[in-house]
Amino acid sequence: MPKFLLMLMDNPTADANLSPQEMQAIVGEYTKWASSLAQQGKLDGGEKLAEEGGRLIRHTGPKVTVTDGPYAESKEVIGGYFIVNAASYDEAVAIAKTCPHMTHGAATLVRRIEETRQ
């Protein structure tokens, strides 16, 4: 079954004023969502990405520049990702739409992972 990458984008300042109890409720929603997907065999892992934008290395000819994050000027950063098993883009998008990130995050980017079989 094809795998899809769900990249969860955040607004980096959005969560700064949440109370501990609100944060706990949000974490609870994500873990509930993930474990229900896992039970259906549709979840293939997920990780948080460290730091907000990472480093962007650009090389135009001999000149190499390293900058902080590809999204330095953007309002959204990739917080982390989940990999899900889905039959089609439609199903992958449908799964992403059930993720609590729809309420608590800024956006979700869905990409199909190319199968490498010959």
Partner 1 sequence: MTTDPAVTATPGDDDANPANAAADRLFRHESARLRASLARTLGTARLDLVEDVVQDALVAALHHWRFAGIPENPGAWLTRVAQRRAIDLIRRGHAESRALTHWLARQEGTPDRDLDDELAMLLACASPALPESCRVPLMLHHVAGFSAAEIAHAFLISNDAAAQRLVRGKQILRDNAVSIEVPEAEALHERLSPTLDAIYLMLTEGHSASPGQPHIREDLLAECERLLTIITTDHRTASPAAHALMALVLFTRSRSPARLSDTSAITLLSEQDRALWDRRRINRAMLHLARAAGGTALTRYHLEAGIAAVHATAETFDATDWRQILELYNALQTVHPTPVVAVNRAAARAMIDGPAAALADLDAAARTLDGYLMYWATRAELLTRLDRPSDAAAALRCALACSPNDAESALLTQRLARAQAAAEELRPRPSPRDPKRESPPPSSP
| Contacting residues toward partner 1, per CB under 8 A | 10, 15-16, 18-24, 26-27, 30-31, 34, 46-48, 79-80, 82
Tokens for 65?
Answer: 């520049």
CB of 107 to partner 1, least distance (A): 15
Strand partners, 7: 81, 109
Q: Which is nearer to partner 1, 24 or 40 (CB)?
A: 24
Q: Which is nearer to partner 1, 101 or 115 (CB)?
A: 101
Radius of gyration, alpha carbons of the chain: 16
From the CB of residue 96, how many other CB atoms can be counted at a distance below 10 Å? 20
Strand partners, 111: 5
CB of 12 to partner 1, least distance (A): 9
Q: Which is nearer to partner 1, 1 or 18 (CB)?
A: 18
* AA identity, residue 51: E
